[in-house]
């Protein structure tokens, strides 16, 4: 019943806005993402310095031909660490929110649509998960399973499920009573059809907005966990843990904290820009991301 929805949109004389094509910014963002992803994937075969080799007498060295971005607090090549850090941060930062998006989104959609006992059960179990202080959850899981990137990803993914569930459910709740859904029901559409064809495309928008937020938050939370000794095990680098380590040298070499923060910022922003533009190109409604 997408036609019905479209017609509503058309009738509403929404403020006319400039329809942006993929502008210069989009290409910059895409290029940045392509570069970061390529570097991250190819890091082990690139002619980089070893990211964990220390030159203890060359700590916090300035930019040079040998060390393009200088060295960190323990004399390790900052450039190599940034790229190897991207591997970890992007792995954790993309996969963990995907777990949340897939599981939480599905649960929220179903709960918001079917309501009743099922909704109570889903909301209840998510509340249990949410009510449990996340750090305690992380600490306990690390205590059992040990500290590794897959475990870390699972912890962050599971912690994200309730939030995605709630966003999906809230969106579904408002949409499910809307005219186009009621019309579809009246026309005898199956639950599966309504869920997938009518609700999902609309629910996915706030979910994706939340997902992009989730990427940034997850990468930063990983850094916070590293700061507490629960993140990626050293000497492995992640952007978050690099910011944490750089924090101790703020006075002498502020770049050690700000370079990874800038990398994180640009990447998250690029994800957002690309997502936004792609959505604008495929969806008739305006910039809802």
Partner 1 sequence: MLTFVVRRLLAILPVLLAVSLLTFLIASLLPGDLAYVILGDQATPENVAALRHDMGLDQPLWWRYLSWLGHVLQGDLGRSFRTGQTVLQAVAERFPVSLQLMLMAEFIGLLIGVPVAIACAARAGGAFDRFMTGSAFAMLSMPSFLVAILLIYLFAVELRWLPATGYVPFTEAPLGNLRFFVLPALTLALAEWPGIMRVLRSDMIATLQEDYIALAKAKGLKPARILFVHALKPSSLTLVTVTGINIGRLLGGTLIVESIFALPGIGRLLVGAIYTRDLVILQGVVLLVACGFVIVNFIVDMLYAVLDPRIRHGHA
Partner 2 sequence: MTNIVAAARNCAPIFLVAAFALVSPAQAQKSGGSITVGQEMDISGFDPLKVGVYDTSTNTAAAAIFDTLTTLDDKGEVAPKLAVSWTHSDDYKSWTFKLREGVKFHDGTPFNAQAFKENFDRQKDPANKCRCAFYISTVKEVLAPDEYTIVYNLTDPAVNLPATITIQSSNNVIHSPTAWKTKGADYNRNPVGTGPYILKSWTAGDRMVLEKNPDYWNKGRPYLDRIILKPLPDAQSRFASLQSGEADIIWDDENDADNIMRAQKDSKLTVHTYKGSGAQVYAFNTKVAPFDDVRVRQALVMSIDRPKMSQAISNGLSRPASNPYGDGSWVKCKDDGALPFDVEKAKALLKDYGKPVEFKMLVTATPRGRMIGQVLQQFWKRAGANMEIEQVDQATIPPRAFTRQFQLVPWRIVDLADPDPQMYANFRSGSPLSLANFVDPELDRLLDHSRVSADIGQRTNDYCAISRLINKEAIWFWTFQNTYYALSSAKLKGFPKIYNGVIDVSSTWLE
Q: Which does 130 bind (CB under 5 to 8 A by kind): partner 2, partner 1, none?
A: partner 1
Does position 230 interact with partner 2 (CB under 8 A)? The reply is yes
Q: Nearest approach, Cβ of 63 to partner 2 (angstroms)? A: 20
Among 70, 73, 214, 260, binds partner 2 (CB under 8 A): 73
**Residue 289 binds which one of partner 1, partner 2, none, with CB within 5 to 8 A depending on kind?**
partner 1
Query: Which residue's CB is nearer to partner 2, number 8 or number 250?
Result: 250
Question: Is residue 261 involved in binding partner 2 (CB under 8 A)?
Answer: no
Least distance (Å) between residue 148 CB and partner 2:
10
Contacts with partner 1 in 95-154 (CB under 8 A)? 114-116, 119-120, 123-125, 127-128, 130-137, 139-140, 143-144
Q: Out of 14, 42, 187, 281, name the contact with partner 1 by CB under 8 A.
A: 14
- The distance of closest approach from Cβ of residue 194 to partner 2 in the complex, given in angstroms and rounded to an integer, is 49
Please report which residue ranges of the chain form alpha helices under DSSP H.
Answer: 2-11, 24-42, 78-99, 105-114, 116-131, 134-145, 149-176, 179-186, 191-193, 200-227, 239-246, 255-282
**Residue 57: CB minimum distance to partner 1, A:** 27
Could you identify the residue written with the tokens 């997502």? 275
Count of residues interacting with partner 2 (CB under 8 A): 24
Side-chain half-sphere exposure of 63, counting CA atoms within 13 A: 4
For the record, the structure tokens of 6 come out as: 């479209």
- Is 110 or 257 the residue whose CB approaches partner 1 more closely? 257
Instruction: Report how far apart, in Å, the C-alpha atoms of 145 and of each of 111, 137, 139, 141, 168 are.
Output: 31, 12, 10, 6, 30
Q: At its nearest, how many Å lie between partner 2 and the CB of residue 89?
A: 18
* Rounded Cα gap, residues 268 and 253, in angstroms: 24
Examine residue 224 and tell whether it contacts partner 2 (CB under 8 A): no
What are the E-state strand segments in the chain? none
The verdict on 254 binding partner 2 (CB under 8 A) reads: no
Binding status of residue 150 toward partner 2 by CB under 8 A: no
Structure tokens at 286: 């305006």
Across 88-111, b (16+ Cβ under 10 Å) vs e yields bbbbbbbbbbbbbbebbbbbbbbb
For residue 152, what are the β-bridge partners?
A: none
Q: Output the CA angle 207-209-213, nearest 5 degrees.
A: 110
Select the binding partner of residue 235 from partner 2, partner 1, none (C-beta < 5 to 8 A, by kind).
partner 2
Measured from the CB atom, the residue of 147 and 272 that comes closer to partner 2 is 147
Query: Closest CB to partner 1 among 56 and 144?
Result: 144
Residue written as token pair 């203890």: 56
Q: Which one of 29-37, 50-58, 93-101, 209-217 is the stretch in contact with partner 1 (CB under 8 A)?
A: 209-217
Residues near 193 by Cβ (< 8 Å), separated by ≥ 6? 184
């Amino acid at each position: 019943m997408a036609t019905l929805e479209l017609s509503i949109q058309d009738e509403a004389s929404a403020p006319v806005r400039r329809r942006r094509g993929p502008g210069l910014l989009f290409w910059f963002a895409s290029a940045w993402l392509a570069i970061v992803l390529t570097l991250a994937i190819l890091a082990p075969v690139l002619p980089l310095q070893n990211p964990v080799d220390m030159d203890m007498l060359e700590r916090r060295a300035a930019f040079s031909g040998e060390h393009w971005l200088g060295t960190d607090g323990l004399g390790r090549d900052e450039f190599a660490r940034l790229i190897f850090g991207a591997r970890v941060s992007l792995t954790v930062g993309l996969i963990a929110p995907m777990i949340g998006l897939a599981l939480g989104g599905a649960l929220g959609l179903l709960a918001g649509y079917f309501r009743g006992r099922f909704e109570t059960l889903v909301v209840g179990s998510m509340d249990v998960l949410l009510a449990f202080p996340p750090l305690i959850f992380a600490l306990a899981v690390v205590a059992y399973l040990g500290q590794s990137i897959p475990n870390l990803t699972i912890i962050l993914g599971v912690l994200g499920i309730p939030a995605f569930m709630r966003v999906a459910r809230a969106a579904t709740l408002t949409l499910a009573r809307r005219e186009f859904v009621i019309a579809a029901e009246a026309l005898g559409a199956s639950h599966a059809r309504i869920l997938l064809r009518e609700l999902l495309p609309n629910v996915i928008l706030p979910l994706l907005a939340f997902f992009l937020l989730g990427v940034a938050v997850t990468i930063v939370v990983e850094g916070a966990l590293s700061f507490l000794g629960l993140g990626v095990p050293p000497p492995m680098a992640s952007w978050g843990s690099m910011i944490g380590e750089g924090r101790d040298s703020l006075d002498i070499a502020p770049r050690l904290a700000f370079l990874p923060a800038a990398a994180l910022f640009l990447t998250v922003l690029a994800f957002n820009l690309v997502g936004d533009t792609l959505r604008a190109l495929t969806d008739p409604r305006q910039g809802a991301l």
